């Protein structure tokens, strides 16, 4: 199954190299494939005001949504930690805003990966509110 996501893992790794992480030294890259097949990448961008820092996964989602894409097929995440890195809670919620069941590929720089459906990474997610008519 990993072979199906090698392009996403490679794109996430390349995005990780562009991360701006002067404070933590912890670089993260993400690659998000949309239902139309487009791939949007993101890296973490730290800030001295830590609350202004944005994660790689949210960067990729924001880029996709700003280009009109709101249906996602899969996301890959690679970090400089040498271990698989799951998305943080905020990123899990942002992803859950658009989908419940995409594969979340957490890969090491060497390509070894663990793949989980989003709903197992973020059980009981707060899903978008549907207004009654």
Positions annotated as catalytic residues are: 57
Any idea of the CA torsion for 11, 15, 73, 63, to the nearest 10 degrees?
Answer: -140
Residues 6+ apart with CB under 8 A from 107: 9, 12, 13, 76, 77, 78, 84, 113, 114
Cα distance between residue 43 and residue 101, in whole Å: 23
Helices (H) and strands (E) in the chain, counts: 4, 5
**Helix, strand, or coil (residue 119):** helix
Tokens of 100: 């419940």
Tokens of 50: 């830590």
């Amino acid at each position: 199954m990993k072979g199906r996501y090698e392009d996403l893992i490679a794109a996430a790794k390349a995005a990780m190299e562009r991360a701006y992480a002067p404070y933590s030294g912890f670089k993260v890259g993400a690659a998000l494939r949309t239902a139309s097949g487009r791939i949007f990448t993101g890296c973490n961008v730290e800030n001295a005001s830590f609350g202004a820092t944005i994660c790689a996964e949210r960067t990729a989602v924001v880029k996709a949504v700003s280009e009109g894409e709101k249906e996602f097929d899969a996301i890959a995440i690679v970090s400089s930690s040498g271990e698989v890195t799951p998305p943080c809670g905020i990123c899990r919620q942002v992803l859950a805003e658009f989908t419940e069941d995409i594969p979340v590929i957490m890969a090491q720089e060497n390509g070894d990966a663990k793949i989980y459906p989003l709903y197992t990474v973020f059980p009981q997610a707060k899903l978008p509110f549907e207004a009654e008519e």
